[in-house]
Amino acid sequence: MAAQVALRRQQAQEESEARDLRLLYPCTGIGGEAGIPQGSSISAGVPVSVSSSPAAACFDVFGSENQKDDKRFYRERKSFLCIDGSRMIPFEQVNDDYCDCEDGSDEPGTSACPRGRFYCTNLGFRPHYIPSSRVNDGICDCCDASDEYNSHARCQNTCWNLGQRERAYVEGQMRTLDEGLRLKQQLIEEGVLLWREKQAQLRELQQVAEDLQVKLEEHRRKKHEADRLKEQTLKALEAGDGGLIRHQNSSVASIFHLLDSNKDGSLTVDEIKAKVVLVHDEQRVLSEDEALALLDRGHRMDLSKFQSTLWDVLTRGDTVKIKDTQGAPGSLSSEDPHLKAADRAAEWEATNLKKVEEAYETVNMEISDLQKKLAIDYGTDWEFLFLNGQCYKLKVYEYTYTLCPFNQVTQKSTAGVEVSLGMWGMWTGKPKNHYSQMVYENGEPCWQGGSRSTTVTLTCGTETALRSVKEPSKCQYIMDFQTPVACQPVLKQQGIHSEL
């Protein structure tokens, strides 16, 4: 109640001010009984009373800051100069429902001029202009109903309600903004910490990498040495080539003697059957025929024949072997203990080197990942950094959308098919508000060409959440993403300055 009284008082005051300024010129010719100018009403200067407040329409043209300058044009005089200076008309022809001025300035209260504007005072709400084509078109545009002073529309004055709703809304917005900014400050602080943490992590990793590099070099050197040692040993073995052959010969002879049970200088079927077995079936005694085959189909075999036949078979070691022995008698040099040790050492060092190399690679990859992550623009205070690594979901009809900021956007149908709607591209907000929009590009290709992409608009809110997803054109998605870090102090100033 008190508020209404206050409003009335305000209205009365404005009206009296207007009168003081002699602004209440008559509205002529804008209506007869049926809105048709009658013969008599055509004569200028006769005020016509139509609906509740026709006069309202006549001074509605004034009010806002930028309109204050225009007030002087409408002082009642004999004549009126179009604001663009193009023409002088009698003052009765101002607001007489006929467009005389090219710029529409003579008809601020009617629909007569194609490019005219009508001023809604909207006391209790926000004043604003509407195109003059919306005056008396049967649709209520001004909340104070002033635009429909001569139409069939029955408009209510809704300014007070609207104003109240708007005020409540703005208050809510302000609260959101306050809360958002507070949260944002936290997130900025966290962001800075996170940034530092990440930087520290990076430095740590880089240190690890450096250490690993030292280690790597050391291991490379060690491996190199072990390899050299192995080679030397091998060379040494090879260097005594006569020895090797001798060794081999004696081995041939010693095996021959081993097999030659009766030591008569030749091998027989029985001797073979007694000492030689199949590699894969040691338990079974060879058959007569098998033994005979090993003796190259002869019943006896001397050393020289043995060396050129059975010795080869035995050294190959893949079919038969000497009973109760391991492996083939050949490659006896590998059994050299020095060589064996050198070989094992080289192998050991190779394994070690590989491990260190792998570790080094892993660390480097982590570094490059982290560097890539840190190279992204997270806002002036790294306030968007915390979003990296998070994902936000929203279900719209039959699809679930997932936004993973700075990574990707996906869409999953209820059937379970997941489609990429784009990979992180860049910030695309206007220079004034660079961090208000981001784009994800090169998603799944579209059959008509091109690929899916998503534009994400960031708006201020107290929670971080995906608010809406739309696909206005095929394969072009629009998301509304709310987060405190999108809150801007500048918004708050605008809010404060709004005339409510």
Partner 1 sequence: TASKCDCTLKLMFLSFGTWAVDKGNFKTCEQSAFCKRQRALKPGESPYRALLETMELTNTRLTLQLINDNNKVRLLLELYRLQGNITRVKINELKPLKPRYEVPDVLIREPTTEPLSVLSQDENGVVLSLGVESQRVIISARPFRLDIMEGSDVLMSLNSRGLLAFEHLRMRKDTQADPEAEKKEEADPTTKEEEEKVEDGMWEETFKSHTDSKPNGPSAVSLDFSLPGVEHVYGIPEHADTLRLKTTDNGDPYRLYNLDVFQYELYNPMALYGSVPVMVAHSAQRTTGIFWLNAAETWVDISSNTGSSETPQTDVRWISESGIIDIFIMLGPTPKDVFSQYASLTGTQSFPPLASLGYHQCRWNYNDQEDVKSVDAGFDEHDIPYDFIWLDIEHTDGKRYFTWDPHKFATPKEMLQGLMDKKRKMVAIVDPHIKVDGNYKIHNEIRSRGFYVKNKDGGDYEGWCWPGSASYPDFTRADMRAWWASMFAYDQYEGTMENLYTWNDMNEPSVFNGPEVTMHKDATHGAWEHRDIHNLYGLYVQMATAEGLIQRSGGVERPFVLTRAFFAGSQRLGAVWTGDNAAEWGHLKISIPMCLSMGLVGISFCGADIGGFFKSPSTELLVRWYQAGAYQPFYRAHAHVDTPRREPWLFGPENTALIREAVRQRYTLLPYWYQLFYRAHVTGEPVMRPLWVEYPQDLATFALEDEYLIGRDLLVHPVVEEGARGVTAYLPGKDEVWFDVHTFQKHNGAQNLYIPVTMSSIPVFQRGGSIIPRKLRVRRSSTCMEHDPYTLYVALNLQRTADGELYIDDGHTFNYEKKEFIYRKLTFANKVLSSVNLAPDAKFTTDSWIERIIVLGASKPSKVTLKTADGQEKQLEFDFDASMSVLTVRKPGMNAGADWTMTFQ
Which residues contact partner 1 by CB under 8 A? 29, 34-37, 39, 42, 96-98, 100, 111-112, 114, 131, 133-134, 137-139, 151, 397, 446-448, 470-474, 476
Which of residues 352 and 476 has its CB atom nearest to partner 1 in the complex? 476
Which of residues 453 and 482 has its CB atom nearest to partner 1 in the complex? 453
State the Cα–Cα distance between residues 288 and 298, nearest whole angstrom: 12
Whole-angstrom CA distances from 123 to 70, 154, 373 are: 20, 19, 53
Q: Which value, in Å, is the radius of gyration of the alpha carbons in the chain?
A: 49
Question: Least distance from C-beta 162 to partner 1, angstroms?
Answer: 16
Question: Least distance from C-beta 471 to partner 1, angstroms?
Answer: 7
Which of residues 3 and 396 has its CB atom nearest to partner 1 in the complex? 396
Question: Least distance from C-beta 38 to partner 1, angstroms?
Answer: 8
Other C-beta atoms closer than 10 Å to the C-beta of 127 total 19
Other C-beta atoms closer than 10 Å to the C-beta of 454 total 27
Please identify which residue in the block is written with the tokens 């024949």.
305
The burial of 26, by beta-carbon neighbours within 10 Å (0-12 exposed, 13-18 middle, 19 or more buried), is given as: buried
461 in Cβ contact with 176 (< 8 Å): yes
Q: Which tokens belong to 3?
A: 């508020």
The sheet with strand 453-460 has its strands ordered as 392-396, 399-404, 408-413, 418-427, 437-441, 453-460, 476-483, 465-473
Question: Least distance from C-beta 19 to partner 1, angstroms?
Answer: 29
Which of residues 137 and 179 has its CB atom nearest to partner 1 in the complex? 137
Which of residues 355 and 470 has its CB atom nearest to partner 1 in the complex? 470
CA 14 to centroid of chain Cα atoms: 54
Which of residues 151 and 410 has its CB atom nearest to partner 1 in the complex? 151
Which of residues 236 and 396 has its CB atom nearest to partner 1 in the complex? 396
Which H or E run contains 79? Answer: strand 79-81
Question: Least distance from C-beta 133 to partner 1, angstroms?
Answer: 5
Other C-beta atoms closer than 10 Å to the C-beta of 59 total 25
Q: Which tokens belong to 175?
A: 């609260």
Question: Least distance from C-beta 88 to partner 1, angstroms?
Answer: 13
Question: Least distance from C-beta 470 to partner 1, angstroms?
Answer: 7
Question: Least distance from C-beta 422 to partner 1, angstroms?
Answer: 16
Nearest alpha-carbon partner for 55 in 102, 103, 5, 95? 95
Which of residues 113 and 183 has its CB atom nearest to partner 1 in the complex? 113
